[in-house]
Amino acid sequence: MSNILEVKKYPEKILRVECVPVGVIDDNTRSLLADMAFTMHAHRGIGLAASQIGMNKQIAVIDIGEGPINLINPKIIDKYGKSLIEEGCLSLPCINVGVKRSSFVKVAALDENGKKIVINADGILSTVIQHEIDHLNGILIIDYADFIKRQLIKRKLLTKKGKRTDEGMPAL
């Protein structure tokens, strides 16, 4: 049975950590992936990185409504095009930021069985993959905001501790 894990919120330090690669994929790794997917769905998210649940591992789960995707040690190996999308984040409740990203990415990773996978993604899947890989590198959506907006967002997050609403884009 899967567990709902605590989602870490800004400014927790783990969100700024560059996660370490996973060396061994075993039953503990698969259990963590299941718990992460369960947590992501419970919070109505479409992506979740291990750092968001306090784990310093290069692991992410994604589900944009087409079934779960498990990414272990993901690396972008090709990208092109440009897109600008308002993104939300489970670790930054009530915050949306316009983020410029590549419109297409090709990603290499390992799946839950240690098998190498390559994903060609565009649209929302491309955005979510890039968002989660950012998390694994200690990068948050607020880092894409200009200085003034970033300061306003930080003030809101640190003073209000806003609660997530179900309006707008699903959180990643």
Residue-wise pLDDT tens digits, 1-34: 789 999 999 999 999 999 999 999 999 999 999 9
Residue 141 has pLDDT above 80, yes or no: yes
Residue-wise pLDDT tens digits, 35-64: 999 999 999 999 999 999 999 999 999 999
CA dihedral angle for residue 27, residue 33, residue 35, residue 36, rounded to 10 degrees: 160
pLDDT band with cut points at 50, 70 and 90 for residue 158: confident
Catalytic residues: 132
Domains identified in the chain and CATH numbers:
13-159 (3.90.45.10)
- Ramachandran bin of 168, using left for φ above 0, alpha for ψ from -120 to 50, beta for the remaining angles: left
Residue-wise pLDDT tens digits, 51-100: 999 999 999 999 999 999 999 999 999 999 999 999 999 999 999 999 99
Residue 164 has pLDDT above 50, yes or no: no
CB 110 within 8 A of CB 93: no
